[in-house]
Amino acid sequence: MGLLSEDRKSEGIALGLSVADNLTMTRLEPFGPGALVWPARQRETAARWIAAMDIKCAGPGQRAAELSGGNQQKIAIARLLHHDVDVLILDEPTRGIDVGSKAQIYRLVDELVAAGGTRPAKAVLMVSSYLPELLGMCDRVAVMRRGRLQPPRAVSGLSEHDLMMQATGAASA
DSSP 45-70: HHHHHHHHHT--SS-TTSBGGGS-HH
Q: Which domain holds residue 37?
A: 2-123
Specify the pLDDT at position 84.
86
Specify the pLDDT at position 171.
56
The reply to whether 51 and 110 lie within a common domain is yes
The reply to whether 17 and 89 lie within a common domain is yes
The reply to whether 52 and 136 lie within a common domain is no
The reply to whether 9 and 71 lie within a common domain is yes
What is the number of other CB atoms lying within 10 angstroms of the CB of residue 47? 15
Specify the pLDDT at position 173.
46
Task: Say how many domains are in the chain.
Answer: 2
The reply to whether 26 and 98 lie within a common domain is yes
Specify the pLDDT at position 50.
96
The series of mean pLDDT values per 10 residues for the chain, 173 residues long, is 89 93 88 85 94 95 95 93 92 92 92 79 93 94 92 93 90 51
Q: What pTM did the predictor assign? A: 0.86
Specify the pLDDT at position 128.
94
Specify the pLDDT at position 116.
67
Specify the pLDDT at position 30.
84
The reply to whether 137 and 74 lie within a common domain is no
